[in-house]
Structure 1
Amino acid sequence: MSMPTLYYVHDPMCSWCWGFQPTWNRLLQQLPSSVSVKRLVGGLAPDSYEPMPEEMRHYLQQTWRRIETELDRPFNHDFWRNNIPRRSTYPACRAVIAARQHDLETEMIEAIQKAYYLDARNPSDLQVLKSCASQIGISEKVFVEAMDSAELEYQLQTEIAQARSMPINGFPSLVLESEGQRLALPLDYHNEAVMLSVITSKLDPKFIE
């Protein structure tokens, strides 16, 4: 019997993923050790060098304020004054996959989120991503070579396709794969115990410690 897997489908530049991060971290700490965890970057927005439309800027600024209010997560709103935002998250997704190859996936996600939401820097820009890589111990040369490689692009497209095959409606999403079945889990942004209860209820008792 295959081990159960919990898929976390996300995008490093998804503001609701930033809002969910503390609860997700607590859930990880409490999962049965028999449950493996796999992160999938879903790819919110493809490569683009076009400035973000004003309507989208307004929508995202309102979303940030909503997350601040509902989830008490900090945002540096200077981002909108100090940058020319682009609707382009694939570069950040590539950076996460590149860091995964060095077992630094979580560290890269955290570095990107900090740069974006706290330091008001734009992770759509390669220069910002190179800085994130350097912070977590990946040399600029190694990182840039990976980001430019056909292999990484293939991995990105394969992962996005896998994420889109999941029973999800957006990011972040949790999907439990157990005994050949995939079940979308309800998200609770405030209480990891709610999700943990659903997960354990779906597992064979032999997988629960």
Structure 2
Amino acid sequence: MTKTLHYIFDPLCGWCYGAAAAVKAVDKAPNVALRLLPSGLFAAVGARPMDEDFAAYAWSNDQRIAGLTGQRFSERYRNEVLADRQQRFDSGPATLALSAVSLSSPAHELEALEAIQQARYVEGQDITRPDTLARLLKGLGLEAAAAGLLHSGAELLAANRARIESAQTLLSQFGARGVPSFVLESDGRRELLQSSALYADPQAFAAQIAKA
């Protein structure tokens, strides 16, 4: 019996970046289908300017995540992303890019998410820019998704809204607080997962889901 793990995230969420190893382990687990659902948490009304106070808060939080998970937050990210007062904290473009991948090459959406996170947190790229995102997608061989992102037609915008609405519905249904959140669906039943192994032991987290 195949189970579905609904992974609710935001591409600008540092804790979601910290959960990357666990998500990748689940993606490789037998009899588990991974469904990515961007929440839109930091898009639209959730977006904000990158001011001094918020940048300092973000960097402090990032260091906690790095210490817990081993994920890298580079000085280049600190100097070229957090210190850039023209670059908003806005996950809308990256969310739309992932929805473009989900339409044209759904099997590669997790790969695209990882590339976007790497570009921001390690390489210090501005992933709030559609041209940056399109270049990343093309580098993965996802030309159709890149073209779809730059065109942003009605089909893509509708699919993006539907994915965000699905994520928000699940969060509301289970009273989940923020992202990342994981909802496991098996035999017609859904449950919100709680696991201390998510950051400390990604393989144990994947094993927990496989055995659930």
Measured against the shorter chain, the TM-score band is: 0.7 to 0.9
Using structure 2 for the length normalisation, give the TM-score.
0.82
CA distance in 2, matches of 1:190, 1:73: 12
Task: Give the aligned partner of residue 72 of structure 2.
Answer: 74
Say yes or no: does 1:38 pair with 2:40: no
Task: Give the aligned partner of residue 123 of structure 1.
Answer: 127
| Deviation by residue 1:167-193 (Cα, 9 ceiling, x = unmatched) | 232211111112332201113211235
CA distance in 2, matches of 1:127, 1:197: 38
User: 1:22-33 maps to which residues of 2 (within 5 A)?
Assistant: 22-29=21-28, 31-33=29-31
Q: CA deviation at 1:78?
A: 2.3
2:188 alignment partner AA? G
Larger fraction in helix: 2
- Picking from 175, 178, 181, the partner of 1:170 is 178
Say yes or no: does 1:52 pair with 2:50: yes
- Picking from 38, 61, 78, the partner of 1:63 is 61
Indicate the SS of the match to 2:168: helix
Task: Give the aligned partner of residue 194 of structure 2.
Answer: 186
Say yes or no: does 1:153 pair with 2:153: no
Unaligned runs of 5+ in 2: none
CA distance in 2, matches of 1:105, 1:142: 10
Q: Is this contact kept in 1: 2:134–2:149, CA < 8 A?
A: no
Unaligned runs of 5+ in 1: 203-209
Q: Is this contact kept in 1: 2:183–2:193, CA < 8 A?
A: yes
CA distance in 2, matches of 1:107, 1:144: 18
- Picking from 133, 138, 142, the partner of 1:134 is 138
Q: Alpha carbon RMSD of aligned pairs, Å?
A: 2.4
Task: Give the aligned partner of residue 143 of structure 1.
Answer: 146
Among all aligned residue pairs of Structure 1 and Structure 2, give the percentage whose two residues are the same amino acid: 27
Q: CA deviation at 1:105?
A: 1.0
CA distance in 2, matches of 1:137, 1:199: 31
Q: CA deviation at 1:72?
A: 1.5
Using structure 1 for the length normalisation, give the TM-score.
0.83
Task: Give the aligned partner of residue 16 of structure 1.
Answer: 15
Q: Is this contact kept in 1: 2:76–2:124, CA < 8 A?
A: yes
CA distance in 2, matches of 1:129, 1:153: 16
Structure showing greater Rg: 1
CA distance in 2, matches of 1:23, 1:45: 22
Q: Is this contact kept in 2: 1:185–1:195, CA < 8 A?
A: no
Aligned length: 198
